[in-house]
Structure 1
Amino acid sequence: MKKPTRRTNNGKEEQSQPSYQIFKQGGHGSPKCKVLLLCLALLNVVLLISAIVVGMKCANFKQDSLDVSQLASPHLISELEHLRRNCSDVQLAEEEALGAIQKTEEKHGQLKVQLQQLESNKRDLQTQLESLRTENVALQANISSMEGSCGKCPADWFFHNSSCYFFSIVKSASFQKNWHDSRADCISRGSDLTVIDSPEEQKYLSAKGKSLLNGRPSTWENGFWVGLTDLEKEKKWVWINNVTEVESRYWSPGEPNNHGPDGEDCAVIVYKSTSPWKTRYDAKCQDHKLYWLCETHVQ
């Protein structure tokens, strides 16, 4: 085996010795080796001490963490229980509030129904009051008639200011006639259809007619024939006693209108309003069937 060589500064080659031989030459007793071994031993001691210190630190940290956890856990549990109780209280309060709202809504609904009932009762009472007022007027008129007539008028007739009046509705509330048949009925009773010749008579007959309707609707179909026509000449209204009617305030607005192809030539009074005026309409003498009003004078 060829030994390793090295080149010197003068260019000559020399054989070099292996490193292990150099270490061997020094031996274990060389100062360098002893120092090296001492350093290694000290390093091991330092590492051992460091490991022990680190282990103790970790153990202390774990113990401290465990102590903190043990100390914090009861507090956290207490807070959690407190929050749970508060949550339960809030839920209970919410349920109570919802129950109170529901009861309030139910009470509101009941009060609303009661209010509607009271309003309905109020309307009924107002209607009854108006009916009683009308009946009172009728009773007073009857008293006046009885006191004044005292045998002067036939039964079912009403006395007023030296005249006796017959409203056909008194005899039959379901029987009506046309104008010509109504006049024939009055004549058969020794009278004729009424002639209204003063505001005072107009007011009396309005009050009496309303009272005799006795709650029936004050409509055109519940009117009364009177002795006024324009049969002889259109738009010239003449009473059956040959007196021409010139007073226009008694006609209802828009009347007389002579409605229809055959026209309307006979007068009827309808008590639609509380006012005694504006009560007259024109109607078809032959076709329309209504109540009628007779009048006879008392000596």
Structure 2
Amino acid sequence: MCTVRVGSRSLPLYPLVIVCLGVLNTILMLTAVVIGIYSLKKELMSHKELKLQLEQNKTASDGLQRQVEMLQLQRATVLADTAQIRESCGRCQHGWFLFKTSCYFHSKSLPTVTKNWPDSRADCVNRGADLIVIDNQEEQVEYVNNNKFVSEIIESIRHERNVWESGYWIGLTDTVTEATWIWINNVTEVEQRYWMDGEPNNHGHMGEDCGIAVYSATNPWKTRYDANCQQKQSHWLCEMKSS
């Protein structure tokens, strides 16, 4: 048997070799474990950094998308306003737009102002006009076709949460005789089909005696409902004959 001399003693060689190999193997295993843990931690850090980068990229992308949508909306509004100015030039006052033979002023140019029905009408009268009147079937057809244009502008600038708040005052009221709706030019409204389902309903203890119009994508004929005349609205529409 091979031996190795350690000091004054002779020890078998093989057991010593086995012990050394075992110690070496343990060291190698510990080294591998340490390297593995380090690599795993590094991989996790890289994963977190990548995830964070993706989230930041998504946030930036969403922000750019919103900016693009806003720019598209602003472009559409500018084009519409440009068309109105070009078409209305010489026939309507500045800030008004021409449709058929009438000029219209929309309160969108007064974004922070709210008015009840009487004050909205007074604003129109002060401008030499009055609230819009739609008093015959032909004009209703024209109004329906134009309504989408007007209401899309309302939709683009409004901050209200529901359709009721986004409506605009029109020159229609039943303040003289309940349920007999009269336009401000003294023409009686006889067409029920222009009212939204369930309207007019004179809701509430104070009643609802003034007309409001909205844009309806599902049924452009049903565009009206009744509201309390003292209710404040951000929108109203003035009308006058063009020059």
TM range, smaller chain: 0.7 to 0.9
How far apart, in 1, do the equivalents of 2:44 and 2:202 lie? 60
Q: Which amino acid aligns with 1:191?
A: A
**In structure 1, which of residues 194, 197, 203 is the aligned counterpart of residue 148 of structure 2?**
203
Larger deviation: 97-106 or 254-263?
Answer: 254-263
Shift of 1:101: 2.0
How far apart, in 1, do the equivalents of 2:29 and 2:198 lie? 73
5 Å-filtered alignment, 1:35-74, equals: 73-74=12-13
Cα contact 1:266–1:283 (8 A) shared by 2 = yes
Q: Which protein is bigger by CA-based radius of gyration?
A: 1
The gaps in structure 1 that reach 5 residues or longer are 1-66
How far apart, in 2, do the equivalents of 1:161 and 1:152 lie? 11
Cα contact 1:158–1:165 (8 A) shared by 2 = yes
**In structure 2, which of residues 110, 114, 121 is the aligned counterpart of residue 183 of structure 1?**
121
**Deviation per CA, 1:37-61, whole angstroms, max 9, x where unpaired?**
xxxxxxxxxxxxxxxxxxxxxxxxx
Q: Which amino acid aligns with 2:238?
A: C
1:81 aligns with 2:20: yes
Pair 259,108 (structure 1): closer, same or farther in 2 beyond 3 Å: farther
Determine the structure 1 residue equivalent to 2:70: 131
Shift of 1:140: 2.0
Pair 289,91 (structure 1): closer, same or farther in 2 beyond 3 Å: same
Determine the structure 1 residue equivalent to 2:7: none
Q: CA RMSD in A?
A: 3.2
Determine the structure 2 residue equivalent to 1:217: 159
5 Å-filtered alignment, 1:1-299, equals: 73-170=12-109, 172-196=110-134, 197-198=140-141, 199-211=144-156, 213=157, 216-219=158-161, 220-221=164-165, 223-232=167-176, 237-241=181-185, 242=187, 244=189, 245-248=191-194, 251=196, 258-269=202-213, 277=220, 280-299=224-243
Determine the structure 2 residue equivalent to 1:11: none
Cα contact 2:154–2:166 (8 A) shared by 1 = no
**Deviation per CA, 1:86-119, whole angstroms, max 9, x where unpaired?**
2222222222222222222222222333333333
Q: Name whichever structure is richer in helix by fraction.
A: 1
Identity %: 38
Pair 147,232 (structure 1): closer, same or farther in 2 beyond 3 Å: same
**Deviation per CA, 1:110-162, whole angstroms, max 9, x where unpaired?**
23333333333333333323322322222222222122111211111122333
Counterpart of 2:146 in 1: which secondary structure? helix
Larger deviation: 78-87 or 224-233?
Answer: 224-233
Pair 113,287 (structure 1): closer, same or farther in 2 beyond 3 Å: same
Structure ranking higher on relative contact order (CA contacts 8 Å, 6+ apart): 2
TM-score of the superposed pair, with normalisation by structure 2: 0.75
How many residues were matched structurally?
226
Pair 143,275 (structure 1): closer, same or farther in 2 beyond 3 Å: farther
Cα contact 2:180–2:188 (8 A) shared by 1 = no
Cα contact 1:166–1:295 (8 A) shared by 2 = yes
How far apart, in 1, do the equivalents of 2:67 and 2:199 lie? 32
Counterpart of 2:192 in 1: which secondary structure? coil
Determine the structure 2 residue equivalent to 1:19: none
How far apart, in 2, do the equivalents of 1:274 and 1:102 lie? 56
How far apart, in 1, do the equivalents of 2:225 and 2:15 lie? 96
Shift of 1:221: 4.5
Cα contact 2:112–2:234 (8 A) shared by 1 = no
Determine the structure 1 residue equivalent to 2:137: none
Pair 195,111 (structure 1): closer, same or farther in 2 beyond 3 Å: farther
